[in-house]
Chains A and B, each alone.
Chain A
Amino acid sequence: MGVGDADAQLMLRYAAGEARAFDELYAAHRNGLWRFIRRSVRDAAATDDVFQECWSRVIANRERYRPEARFATWLYRIAHNCCMDHWRKSGRRDRRESMDDDAIAAAADDSTAEPLDAVLAGEASERLAAALERLPQDQCAAFLLYVEGGLSVAEIGEATGVNPETAKSRLRYAVARLKQALGDDAPD
């Protein structure tokens, strides 16, 4: 992870007034960020608003951006904050979010728990999407930041405001549940 990665350079060029640099930056992160927000917000109608809000903050803060970390880390931290704001505004918090991580892990390990029949009925990608919606919000965010944003465990902890141990724990529990949901289709 280089401090002066290509995306960071694009962001600096955009901050200096080069509009085409933003186009390249947007094209590189457009789909990944959309999926991250789509899975995090879990609301198709709100996804577009949060997505635009995220990029608006990127644009507004372009002159304050410092390439001290990867651009993706900065971008997904903004996206995560936008999702948090959306949850606060909508007043909708996943009930499972308040559950203890150990209880969730136990539920994931319990083969007699929810069979996820509906999830298993579809394609692997659809089942994964459905399983993500069932995950606690913190675990879902950790998983998406890791997979979509390419953040490390430490960066996930920094972006979500927890220490790396907690971030790693959330990530581990998330993967365990998703593997259970996907069964044999789950990646190794």
Chain B
Amino acid sequence: MEEKDIKAPFPREPWKRLLEDSADAPPETTDARIRANARKALVPHGARWWLHAGLAASFVVAVVLAQTMFGGRGKGVGGDSLIGESKIDVSVVDRSKAISPPPPVAAAEPLRREAARPEGEAAFVDDDYEAEDAAGEVAEVEATGSRIGGPERERRAASESPEEQYDAAPAPAEESKELSNVVVTGSRAEAAAEESTPSAGFIASVDHASWRQTPEEWYARIVALRKAGNNTEADAELKRFEAAWPDWMKKNGKPRP
């Protein structure tokens, strides 16, 4: 095969002129579409920042909505809505002042629980209380300014640091009573964390039970529990009662229920 034949076996132009005369051309819409595609292809992917930004914004909105919808649930009766948005102080408070009317916010929780709880569920409350008491720690979460405690506690609190009281092991009746009166309040986050376990706030609500505020009512309650055959609960209450009022039964001539 000759080089000339390989490159140009016959002249192109005459044939091309014939073809040009007979053929049509692409429609203008096709031209526009192809040119548009050519320009669109040149747009760098990085320039489509709004896609990523939109995705991120959607995610943030979804998280916020989820927190709004489910954030307040699962915190039990009288959660943050009762405590309010005020900052919670960390302090040691004396239960001896519990005789004074509790503040409205702190008092509302136990009252609501007592009202909503059937009588048969009292054991549940006391079991929690007992578990906490056995550990030698009684914590209480309350709103700012709430102070509850007994007279013995007030005297001891003046000579003991909060840490010492909090870390003290269970001991003789006097000491045990005082420790049971120690109230440790924490931050709002700590209070929220404690709500998943037998919580300080929950125990505090038990301590506000009206029948524990006077030894007569407390004693009557123990007697009632014993009569009802709820000996476990009665024993626990009696133990607690004796710790709080060690000589009351002796002084008043009451038999040990």
Q: Is A83 close to B, CB under 8 A?
A: no
Q: Is A134 close to B, CB under 8 A?
A: no
Q: From B7, which residue of chain A is reached at the shortest CB distance? A: A152
- Bound CA span A156–B68, Å: 70
B27 to chain A: closest CB distance in Å?
A: 7
Q: Is A65 close to B, CB under 8 A?
A: no
CB contact list, A28-72 vs B, under 8 A: 30-31, 34-35, 38-39, 48, 51-52, 55-56, 59-60, 62
- Bound CA span A146–B10, Å: 10
Is B19 within 8 A of A39, CB to CB? yes
Q: Is B100 close to A, CB under 8 A?
A: no
Q: Is A164 close to B, CB under 8 A?
A: yes
Given A26-B35, A59-B38, the answer on whether A148 and B6 have CB atoms closer than 8 Å is no
Which chain B residues lie closer than 8 Å to A126 at the CB level? 22
Given A22-B35, A26-B38, A172-B9, the answer on whether A31 and B14 have CB atoms closer than 8 Å is no
Produce 1/0 per residue, B4-15, CB < 8 A to A. 011111111011
B73 to chain A: closest CB distance in Å?
A: 53
Q: Is B16 close to A, CB under 8 A?
A: yes
Q: Is B33 close to A, CB under 8 A?
A: yes
Produce 1/0 per residue, A168-188, CB < 8 A to B. 100110010010001000011
Main secondary structure of the interface of A (DSSP, over half): helix
User: Which residue of the partner chain, among A14, A17, A26, A125, contacts B34 with CB atoms under 8 Å?
Assistant: A26
CB contact list, A116-130 vs B, under 8 A: 123-126, 128-129
Which chain B residues lie closer than 8 Å to A148 at the CB level? 16, 19
Q: Is B228 close to A, CB under 8 A?
A: no
Is B24 within 8 A of A38, CB to CB? yes
Q: Is A105 close to B, CB under 8 A?
A: no
User: Which residue of the partner chain, among A19, A35, A146, A165, contacts B42 with CB atoms under 8 Å?
Assistant: A19
User: Which residue of the partner chain, among A35, A164, A188, contacts B14 with CB atoms under 8 Å?
Assistant: A188
Which chain A residues lie closer than 8 Å to B16 at the CB level? 147-148
- Bound CA span A154–B1, Å: 11
Is B15 within 8 A of A187, CB to CB? yes
B35 to chain A: closest CB distance in Å?
A: 6
Q: Is B21 close to A, CB under 8 A?
A: yes
Given A35-B23, A164-B6, the answer on whether A125 and B31 have CB atoms closer than 8 Å is no
- Bound CA span A123–B22, Å: 9
Residue in A17, A128, A150, A182 with the greatest tally of chain B CB atoms within 10 Å:
A128
Q: From B21, which residue of chain A is reached at the shortest CB distance? A: A125
- Bound CA span A188–B10, Å: 8
Is B34 within 8 A of A31, CB to CB? no
User: Residues of B with Cβ closer than 8 Å to A?
Assistant: 1, 5-12, 14-16, 18-27, 30-31, 33-35, 37-39, 41-42
Q: Could you name 14 residue pairs across A and B whose Cβ atoms are closer than 8 Å? A: A22-B38, A26-B34, A30-B25, A35-B23, A38-B23, A48-B27, A52-B34, A59-B38, A124-B18, A146-B12, A147-B16, A152-B6, A187-B11, A188-B14
User: Residues of A with Cβ closer than 8 Å to B?
Assistant: 14, 17, 19, 22-23, 26, 30-31, 34-35, 38-39, 48, 51-52, 55-56, 59-60, 62, 123-126, 128-129, 143, 146-148, 150, 152-154, 164-165, 168, 171-172, 175, 178, 182, 187-188
Closest 8 CB pairs of A and B: A187-B14, A125-B22, A125-B21, A35-B23, A22-B38, A129-B22, A55-B34, A147-B15
For the complex with contacts A147-B15, A165-B1, A168-B5, 14 further pairs of A-B residues with Cβ separation under 8 Å are A17-B42, A22-B35, A26-B34, A26-B35, A38-B23, A59-B37, A59-B38, A129-B22, A146-B9, A150-B12, A152-B6, A152-B7, A153-B6, A187-B15
